[in-house]
Amino acid sequence: MEDIGHFIGGKRVAGTSGRSQDVMQPMDGTVRGKVALASAAEVRQAVENAKAVQPEWAATNPQRRVRVLMKFLELVHKEYDSLAELLAREHGKTIPDAKGDIQRGLEVVEVCIGAPHMMKGEYTEGAGRGIDVYSMRQPLGVVAGITPFNFPAMIPLWKIAPALACGNAYVLKPSERDPSVPMRIAELFLDAGLPAGVLNVVNGDKVAVDAILDDPDIKAVGFVGSTPIAQYIYGRATASGKRAQCFGGAKNHLIVMPDADMDQTVDALIGAGYGSAGERCMAVSVAVPVGKETADRLVEKLIPRVESLKVGPSTDASADFGPLVTKEALERVKGYVDLGVKEGAKLLVDGRGFTMQGYEDGYYMGGCLFDEVTPDMRIYKEEIFGPVLSVVRANTYEEALKLPNDHEYGNGVAIFTRDGDAARDFAARVEVGMVGVNVPIPVPIAYYTFGGWKASGFGDLNQHGPDAFRFYTKTKTVTSRWPSGVKDGAEFVIPTMR
């Protein structure tokens, strides 16, 4: 059984707080190890290490900084299989899904190799008589990230890569549920040539989170998790003068128009609704068929597909999805299914009684399918974060469009149709941050930005893409004049370009 401490100053260190937590293996319910929970003093130690080395890292030219990212990519690819297995065992997702987790993180690292171009400023010669104006992007200093359990490789890399490319030092607080992959990522960055102390990892709970939020030397914080915690972190971080980008919960709808290819739509709903046991912020949890005939056809095709989903241990590459991350998560999702039945929704497929032979202590649940869910039900309003799909019937396109527009969350949404006019109208009018047209999980590619609207996102700048370089830098603008004989005398009014 492994004891997992922290990664501070370029090496693994044991925790000193005296507090720890079990790291579980969801597929069989066994304890894999213990992870230390950092004290405020340990967080401060990581910040001090980062602060001491950040100026030299910032003074390293951008092209040399991104060479470290390039070497990191090479090293990760050599360990791809072992990293995916490690991730799957601690999280519960299947190994193929774990590889996708890693790959989507690496794609952001690849884009960050373009940092020398992204960080270029602007220049205007002759803005006034003998005056030139130019701008430059400079790193913030020490920045931090608080990342969730459901993507222990992807989301840390979404944050670490642009922050480092811009010349910042980084303190990561990953989820204490699956900390091993973030720790290994830090070691691989060191092996790739990152100076010791530029990237630090502190494992912990709310004590570590609050220490990060209150530390005066941390200039920016990024977070992904539930909406209540996103609101808390955004409020506390900004109150202490930090930049913050905080992403919360979701309730992603997929609108099914009468002309949609029904087989393609059902394939999309099965993959997007039940993949990774529904533990994705971009999972489709609500299907909205337009018209009774569309709804009846959709439900008729969904039932046998949900019933035949293959649930298996994380090491079974043929499984559609694995266990949930913890016993508490399993009981929470089952509780939502109980609630849906009590609220009057029609439970067409019930996965609550699923058990896995030989893995009876694992956190497994079969797929669940509800029909006749209405917007007043809690199973519609709240994020379930499990393998549960709800069908909400709409009579018209306008009624279907109103559902995601009126919902508290605004992370992702999709429409399936053959009608270009309907798709174009939907993309223009829907009040959601990421939109798919015949694409069920519209996670933007790495050189665009990722972020939701409404209660799904707090802060002005999104993750990865151009927004990441804006978030992790500050702009300095210089107005310059070299005298060379220009003698205007004293000026007592604000300078203008007249």
What's the N-to-C CA distance of the chain in angstroms?
73
Strands (E), 86-160: 123-128, 131-139, 142-146
Q: Does the pLDDT at position 489 exceed 70?
A: no
**Among 283, 377, 296, which residue's Cα sits nearest to residue 324?**
283
Tokens of residue 334, six digits:
């089952």
**Among 281, 240, 237, 280, which residue's Cα sits nearest to residue 459?**
237
Give the model confidence (pLDDT) of 116-129 as tens digits: 999 999 999 999 88
Confidence of residue 1 (pLDDT cuts 50, 70, 90): confident
Q: Are residues 74 and 100 in the same domain?
A: yes
Q: Is 281 a catalytic residue?
A: yes
Name the DSSP class of 445: P
Q: Are residues 307 and 207 in the same domain?
A: no
Give the model confidence (pLDDT) of 382-407 as tens digits: 999 999 999 999 999 999 999 999 99
Q: Are residues 159 and 265 in the same domain?
A: no
Rg of the chain over CA atoms, in angstroms?
25
Does the residue 492 lie in any domain? Answer: no
Distance in angstroms (rounded) separating the CA atoms of residues 222 and 247:
8
Residue 409 phi/psi, 5° resolution?
-95, 155
Q: Are residues 216 and 270 in the same domain?
A: no
Q: What percent of the chain has pLDDT over 90?
A: 95
Q: What pLDDT does 498 receive?
A: 64
Q: What pLDDT does 488 receive?
A: 63
Q: Are residues 133 and 259 in the same domain?
A: no
Q: Which one of 112, 166, 281, 368 is the catalytic residue?
A: 281
Does the residue 450 lie in any domain? Answer: no
Residue 420 phi/psi, 5° resolution?
-65, -35
Q: Does the pLDDT at position 215 exceed 90?
A: yes
Say if CB 155 and CB 224 are below 8 A apart: yes
Does the residue 447 lie in any domain? Answer: no
Residue 293 phi/psi, 5° resolution?
-65, -45
Q: What pLDDT does 482 receive?
A: 86
Q: Does the pLDDT at position 222 exceed 90?
A: yes
Q: Are residues 267 and 371 in the same domain?
A: yes
Confidence of residue 483 (pLDDT cuts 50, 70, 90): confident
For residue 82, what is the domain's CATH number?
Answer: 3.40.605.10
Q: Are residues 235 and 290 in the same domain?
A: no
Query: Is 52 buried (19+), middle (13-18) or exposed (0-12) by CB count in 10 A?
Result: middle
Does the residue 87 lie in any domain? Answer: yes
Q: Are residues 33 and 182 in the same domain?
A: yes
pTM of the model: 0.95
Residue 413 phi/psi, 5° resolution?
-155, 155
Q: What pLDDT does 485 receive?
A: 54
Interstrand relation of 368-371 and 346-349 (parallel, antiparallel or unpaired): antiparallel
Q: Are residues 74 and 27 in the same domain?
A: yes
Domain of 137 in residue numbering reads as 2-248+456-478
Mean pLDDT of the chain: 96
Q: Are residues 112 and 124 in the same domain?
A: yes
Q: What pLDDT does 412 receive?
A: 98
Q: What pLDDT does 52 receive?
A: 98
For residue 376, what is the domain's CATH number?
Answer: 3.40.309.10
Confidence of residue 130 (pLDDT cuts 50, 70, 90): confident
Residue with tokens 């893995």: 359
Does the residue 240 lie in any domain? Answer: yes
Q: Does the pLDDT at position 238 exceed 90?
A: yes
Q: Are residues 31 and 126 in the same domain?
A: yes
Does the residue 484 lie in any domain? Answer: no
Does the residue 239 lie in any domain? Answer: yes
Does the residue 401 lie in any domain? Answer: yes
Q: Does the pLDDT at position 487 exceed 70?
A: no
Give the model confidence (pLDDT) of 269-290 as tens digits: 999 999 999 999 999 999 999 9
Q: Does the pLDDT at position 84 exceed 90?
A: yes
Q: Are residues 219 and 279 in the same domain?
A: no
Q: What pLDDT does 128 receive?
A: 85
Q: How many domains does the chain have?
A: 2
